């Protein structure tokens, strides 16, 4: 353990040990005088931390207390034990070279809203505080939570959000060729141990706006006008949200919250849909690019799906007896995917839960390997995060999830050779390796060779390979990502597309593995009997007749049209992404739109709070897409709908340029960063990842214990 310049009395030591244990950092990486925000502790983690302190000390330690009155380990310890001395923060060196600035200076404060009403909506300077800042970030976290949970029919649990970027700090310049840029507390580790992220990807590090004084005149006027125009267009949705907020606890009603545009914080409420279009309570139409988080590959209210559901509705939707539709639907799932057997549930999350239980039953092992950045559902075991310290551990990603729930998970970096080495070391303790073959927030990353290496490795070790294809299944190919990459998994989970908008999930796989659900095949009229060991597997609404009717209709349509259905969608998606990416370059907009087959993800390349307002501008242009969620192409998106989308993006981007909403837009056109040096550019530098997840070199920040500075080339 490194020496600490501060004395550590018993109470402070205990407080710091609890934070270290919960965060995964070593104790000497946690400065007693650094604020929890400076340490990188987001609102979700502070909720967990407050609960841990209450259990340990038997007194109330609230979330608000950790934000406002005791925002450091030292101040918290003093509140618990007055004998703890006041510690002085370690000052920066007297003579230090200024670090390389990574953010332009703030614009001159001269907001001039377009109307008095708009002016009242902008939070005045001086009326904010640390609690409001944390609430803002917490609500941003909730938006990310919904992005992930919405990516499944089960409905983004909150992922940890990044803290606002630290101001640049001074540090000695170690070499003429390098400069130090301010960095968050260390997402750094030794080269042999990769940095791990939460299973729920955090929001990109934003350049934060604190109050209206940070807006220049054009920005303030444009924001006020944007608020006025949005309220005029979608006022009925806002009134509906306000009417039901007190009794309807819905995180989506707080998604995207920011004090400067709080009046825009409400979801679009839609009363009807058809094909590629939605119509809101005010009667305005929108081309839907969210598309139900992925299920509607045939568009809203596809006539053949409506017909199948209506016919079954007329016949009945009994629960308990077997529906004749289930067997035929299972046969088609197996025919299209190449799997031996299939079983139905209600959601993708349930399918993953069943697959894990099946794998452990079949192998008799407990350990499951998964990967940072994957999303596998909303039950406790898969809400995990990897530690950011020097020890590899798996911890809960959200309050309310006990540590024991994730104790049998090992979280590794996706696509890295080092991860294969760890799996080899784990050997025959691994029940399964579970992977989302193409992560929905990183669709351009398609590591086929890594997936094939996983297949060989799991076969050699007697482990099962599970593909989570809830997003990629039936959308990328009738056989899913397994067909695209030429890798056959032992188990696979499906959902979304095959239900045509109805709630359904599927787990399918090898016969001998799937036999753990029912004991295996037997015949009537002879002495045969189930022979496989079984686990418990049930659910009231599994194989619901209405869901089975829609599923069977969609499967039959995909069988009839073959791979050409998905191939045609991919071609149209490529063309849309090409045109929109060209618009981003033309306008200097810090966005990009990568894709995998017909799954797209609109990503900020140079995150800034103002850039987030693109989604509100798109709404004014009749284009529906939610921040932090993937976008999806459907068969209902004809030429007219896509031209509407492209034109809407063009007008929205032009409006944001006019409003000076891309203050970092020029950076989006900058050349790509040079390749990372293979050797440390300065003595003592450690390899880690920057806020955008790119490999980078870091050195300890002499001004902040436990914090690091990124080494950048001049």
627: how many CB neighbours lie within 10 A of its CB? 21
* Residue 456: pLDDT over 50: yes
**In this predicted structure, what is the pLDDT of residue 93?**
41
For residue 642, the Cα-to-chain-centroid distance in whole angstroms is 26
pLDDT score at 442: 93
pLDDT at 708: 67
Please tell me the predicted confidence (pLDDT) of residue 203: 41
What share of the chain in percent tops pLDDT 70? Answer: 75
Mean pLDDT for the stretch of residues 376-387: 85
Does pLDDT of 593 surpass 90? yes
Domain membership flag for residue 230? yes
Q: What is the pLDDT of residue 488?
A: 97
Q: How much of the chain exceeds pLDDT 90, in percent?
A: 51
Tell me which of 2 and 394 has the higher pLDDT: 394
Give the number of other Cβ atoms within 10 Å of residue 290's Cβ: 18
Bigger pLDDT: 106 or 429? 429
> Is pLDDT at 44 greater than 80 in this prediction?
no
pLDDT recorded at residue 20: 85
**Residue 473 placed within a domain:** yes
Residues 483-498, mean pLDDT to the nearest whole number: 96
**687, part of any domain:** no
What does the block give as tokens for 695? 């490999």
Q: What is the pLDDT of residues 256-283, one digit of tens each?
A: 788 888 899 999 999 999 999 999 999 9
| Cα–Cα distance measured from residue 167 to residue 117, given in angstroms and rounded to the nearest whole number | 33
> Which residues does 221 contact at the CB level (< 8 Å), separation at least 6?
111, 112, 113, 114, 659
pLDDT band at 598 (very low <50, low <70, confident <90, very high): very high
Is 338 inside any structural domain?
yes
Do residues 348 and 488 share a domain? yes
- Looking at the predicted structure, is the pLDDT value of residue 98 above 90? no
Lowest-pLDDT range, 305-319, 596-610, 664-678? Answer: 664-678
Range of the domain at 503: 303-520+530-562
* Residues 278 and 362 both lie in one domain: no
Look at 162 and 5; give whichever has higher pLDDT. Answer: 5
Q: What is the dihedral of CA 555, 556, 558, 564, to 10 degrees?
A: 160
Confidence of residue 674 (pLDDT cuts 50, 70, 90): low
Average pLDDT over every residue of 535-546 = 92
More confident residue, 335 or 100: 335
The whole-number pLDDT of residue 616 equals 96
For residue 60, what is the enclosing H or E element?
none
In a domain, 234, yes or no: yes
Kindly state the average pLDDT of the residues 71-84: 86
Bridge-based pairing of strands 464-468 and 430-435 is: parallel
Mean pLDDT, range 657-680, rounded to an integer: 61
Largest interatomic CA distance in the chain? 91
Name which of 50-59, 104-113, 548-557 the model is least confident about: 104-113
Helix %, strand %, coil % of the chain (to 5): 40, 15, 45
Please determine, for residue 135, whether its predicted confidence score (pLDDT) is greater than 90.
Answer: no
Q: Which residue has the tokens 């841990």?
A: 52
For residues 348 and 450, state if they share a domain: yes
pLDDT for 113: 38
Residue from 497, 501, 476, 437 nearest 600 by CA:
476
Of 607-621, 651-665, 677-691, the range with the highest mean pLDDT is 607-621
Cβ(441)–Cβ(150) under 8 Å?
no
pLDDT tens-digit readout, 211-250: 677 888 899 999 999 999 999 999 999 999 999 999 998 8
3-state secondary structure 489-551: CCEEEEEHHHHCCCCCEEEEECHHHHHHHCCCCCCCCCCCCCCCCCCCCCCCCCCCHHHHHHH
Least confident range of 40-44, 328-332, 543-547, 638-642: 40-44
Do 370 and 509 belong to one domain? yes
Whether residues 213 and 316 share a domain: the answer is no
How far is it, in rounded angstroms, from Cα 139 to Cα 137? 5
DSSP H helices, 343-434, are 348-363, 417-426
User: Is the model more confident about 606 or about 317?
Assistant: 317
**Half-sphere CA count of 159, side-chain side, radius 13 A:** 29
Mean pLDDT of 652-668: 76
**Residue 498 pLDDT exceeds 70:** yes
CA 69 from chain centre, in angstroms, equals 31
Query: Mean pLDDT throughout 623-646?
Result: 96
Q: Please determine, for residue 87, whether its predicted confidence score (pLDDT) is greater than 90.
A: no
Does some domain include residue 37? no
Q: Is the pLDDT score of 305 beyond 70?
A: yes
Packed helices 448-461 and 417-426: angle between N→C axes, nearest 10 degrees = 10
Instruction: Indicate whether 380 and 450 sit together in one domain.
Output: yes
The closest alpha carbon to 109, from 4, 214, 254, belongs to: 214
Max avg pLDDT among 18-27, 106-115, 253-262, 632-641: 632-641
Query: What per-residue confidence (pLDDT) applies to 204?
Result: 40
The reply to whether 497 falls in a domain is: yes
**Contact, 142 vs 157, CB < 8 A?**
no
Q: How would you classify the pairing of strands 491-495 and 505-509?
A: antiparallel
Q: What is the per-residue pLDDT for 367?
A: 96
pLDDT mean across residues, the chain: 81
CA distance 228 to 263: 9
Confidence of residue 424 (pLDDT cuts 50, 70, 90): very high
Domain count of the chain?
Answer: 2
Tokens 């897409």, located at residue = 625
Q: Could you give the CA distance from residue 652 to residue 144 in angstroms, rounded to a whole number?
A: 23
pLDDT value at 622 more than 80: yes
Question: What's the pLDDT band for 652 if we cut at 50, 70, 90?
Answer: very high
Q: Which comes out higher in pLDDT, residue 444 or 609?
A: 444
Do 249 and 205 share a domain, yes or no? yes
Q: Report which of residues 526 and 152 the model is more confident about.
A: 526
Q: Both tokens of residue 498?
A: 């095959």
Q: Quick one: 474 and 575 in the same domain? A: no
Same domain, 155 and 229: yes
Q: Is the pLDDT of residue 663 over 50?
A: yes
* Model pLDDT, residue 549: 97
Burial class (CB in 10 A: 0-12, 13-18, 19+), 96: middle
* Residues 384, 437 within the same domain: yes
32-36, 123-127, 392-396: range with lowest mean pLDDT:
123-127
For residue 641, what is the domain's CATH number? 3.90.1150.10
Residue 513 has pLDDT above 80, yes or no: yes
Which pair of tokens denotes residue 351?
């399918």
Q: How confident is the model at residue 668 (pLDDT cuts 50, 70, 90)?
A: very low
Are both 155 and 280 inside the same structural domain? yes
- Asked, for residue 243, whether it belongs to a domain, the answer is yes
Task: Indicate which CATH number applies to the domain containing 557.
Answer: 3.40.640.10
376 and 349 both lie in a single domain: yes
β 505-509/591-592 pair status:
unpaired
d(CA 323, CA 541): 12
């Amino acid at each position: 353990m490194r020496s600490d310049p501060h004395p550590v009395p018993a109470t402070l030591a205990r407080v710091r040990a609890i934070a270290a244990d919960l965060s995964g950092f070593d104790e000497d990486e946690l400065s007693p005088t650094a604020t929890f925000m400076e340490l990188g502790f987001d609102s979700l983690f502070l909720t967990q931390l407050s609960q841990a302190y209450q259990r340990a000390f038997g007194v109330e330690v609230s979330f608000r207390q950790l934000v406002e009155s005791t925002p450091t380990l030292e101040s918290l310890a003093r509140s618990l034990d007055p004998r703890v001395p006041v510690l002085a923060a370690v000052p920066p060196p007297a003579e230090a070279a200024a670090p390389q600035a990574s953010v332009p200076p703030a614009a001159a404060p001269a907001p001039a809203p377009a109307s008095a009403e708009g002016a009242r909506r902008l939070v005045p300077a001086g009326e904010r505080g640390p609690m409001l800042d944390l609430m803002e970030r917490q609500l941003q976290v909730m938006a990310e939570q919904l992005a992930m949970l919405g990516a499944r029919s089960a409905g983004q649990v909150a992922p940890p959000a990044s803290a606002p970027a630290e101001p640049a700090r001074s540090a000695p310049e170690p070499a003429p060729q390098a400069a130090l840029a301010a960095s968050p507390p260390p997402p750094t580790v030794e080269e042999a141990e990769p940095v791990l992220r939460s299973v729920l990807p955090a929001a990109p590090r934003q350049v934060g706006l604190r109050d209206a004084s940070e807006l220049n005149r054009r920005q303030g006027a444009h924001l006020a006008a944007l608020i006025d125009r949005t309220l005029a267009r979608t006022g009925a949705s806002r009134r509906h949200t306000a009417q039901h907020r007190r009794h309807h606890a819905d995180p989506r009603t707080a998604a995207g919250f920011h004090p400067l545009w709080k009046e825009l914080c409400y979801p679009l409420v839609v009363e009807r849909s058809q094909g590629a279009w939605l119509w809101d309570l005010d009667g305005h139409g929108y081309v839907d690019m969210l598309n139900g988080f992925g299920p509607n590959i045939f568009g809203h209210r596809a006539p053949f799906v409506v017909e199948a559901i209506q016919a079954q509705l007329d016949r009945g939707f009994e629960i308990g007896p077997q529906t004749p539709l289930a067997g035929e639907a299972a046969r088609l799932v197996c025919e299209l995917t190449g799997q031996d057997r299939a079983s139905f549930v209600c959601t993708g999350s349930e399918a993953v839960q069943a697959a894990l239980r099946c794998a452990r039953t079949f192998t008799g092992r407990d350990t499951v390997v998964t990967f940072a950045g994957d999303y596998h559902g909303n039950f406790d075991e898969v809400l995990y995060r990897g530690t950011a310290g020097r020890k590899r551990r798996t911890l809960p990603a959200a309050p309310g999830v006990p540590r024991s729930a994730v104790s049998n998970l090992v979280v590794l970096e996706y696509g890295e050779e080092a991860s294969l080495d760890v799996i080899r070391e784990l050997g025959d303790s691994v029940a399964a390796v579970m992977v989302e073959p193409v992560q929905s927030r990183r669709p351009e990353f398609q590591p086929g060779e890594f997936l094939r290496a996983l297949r060989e490795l799991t076969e050699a070790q007697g482990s099962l390979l599970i593909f989570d294809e809830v997003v990629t299944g039936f959308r990328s190919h009738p056989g899913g990502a397994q067909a695209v990459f030429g890798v056959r998994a032992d188990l696979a989970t499906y959902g979304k597309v095959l239900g045509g908008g109805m709630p359904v999930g599927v787990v399918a796989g090898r016969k001998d593995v799937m036999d753990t659900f029912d004991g295996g095949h037997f015949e009537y009229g002879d002495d045969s009997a189930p022979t496989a060991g079984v686990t418990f597997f049930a659910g009231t609404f599994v194989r619901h007749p209405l869901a089975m009717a829609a599923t069977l209709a969609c499967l039959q349509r995909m069988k009839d049209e073959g791979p050409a259905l998905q191939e045609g969608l991919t071609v149209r998606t490529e063309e849309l992404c090409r045109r929109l990416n060209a618009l981003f370059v033309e306008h200097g907009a810090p966005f990009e739109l990568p894709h995998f087959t017909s799954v797209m993800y609109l990503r900020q390349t140079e995150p800034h709070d103002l850039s987030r307002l693109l989604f509100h501008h798109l709404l004014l242009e009749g284009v529906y897409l939610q921040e932090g969620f993937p976008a999806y192409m459907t068969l209902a998106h004809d030429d007219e709908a896509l031209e509407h989308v492209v034109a809407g993006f063009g007008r929205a981007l032009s409006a944001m340029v006019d409003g000076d909403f891309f203050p970092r837009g020029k950076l989006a056109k900058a050349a790509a960063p040079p390749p990372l040096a293979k050797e440390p550019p300065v003595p003592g530098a450690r390899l880690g990842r920057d806020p955008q997840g790119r490999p980078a070199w870091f050195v300890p920040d002499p001004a902040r214990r436990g914090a690091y500075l990124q080494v950048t080339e001049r």
